[in-house]
Amino acid sequence: MRTETVVIGEEFGKEYMGKYVFQELTWAKRSRIIQKYTKYNPLTGQLQSSDDVAIQAEMIVASLKEQPQHKPITLERLLAEDPEKGVPIALGELFGRIVNRLNMVNFDEAAFLSGVSDAASRIKHSQTSDSAKNLGGRRNS
């Protein structure tokens, strides 16, 4: 499995200084993380909700195989909403890019996981039921 090592200096604070080693996840592990935080409609299979931040955070933690001895990166810290208790945004984004690259998350998936979407949806909308009524057949006045 592929690995990537990054050495962090003082740019994110002394607490985060050190060597971090990330390893590629297995397909099964990646799929389980995504399924854990994604809900689908049981009838249509359409996506109902997804906690993209939690998916990205779990993928970072699961890929992280080595970090400084005092273990500054935890799932709780990655998910913290309080800036004093959380990981700096730029550091979290750096780790996210590394993990996405290692696990071959493509551009569309990365946008999905980071909550970014393009203005024009790539999904074509289906005809409404009103349009189907106009296709012919008996009409009621």
CB-count exposure of residue 77 (10 Å: 0-12, 13-18, 19+) = middle
pLDDT at 104: 84
State the DSSP string of 49-108: EE-HHHHHHHHHHHHEEE--TT----HHHHH--STTTS--HHHHHHHHHHHHHHTT--HH
Cross-strand partners of 3: 23
Residues 6 or more apart whose CB falls under 8 angstroms from that of 111 comprise: 117, 118
Residues 6 or more apart whose CB falls under 8 angstroms from that of 6 comprise: 19, 20, 22, 94, 98
pLDDT at 105: 73
Q: Among residues 64, 55, 80, which one has the least CA distance to residue 25?
A: 64
pLDDT tens, N- to C-terminus, the chain (141 residues): 899 999 999 999 999 999 999 999 999 999 999 999 999 999 998 999 999 999 999 999 999 999 999 999 999 999 999 989 999 999 999 999 999 999 987 656 655 655 544 444 444 444 544 545 445 555 555
Cross-strand partners of 5: 21
Cross-strand partners of 18: 8
Q: At what angle do helices 89-102 and 52-63 cross, to 10 degrees?
A: 70
pLDDT at 95: 97
Predicted structure pTM score: 0.73
Residues 6 or more apart whose CB falls under 8 angstroms from that of 52 comprise: 37, 112, 113, 114, 115
d(C-alpha 33, C-alpha 59), whole Å: 7
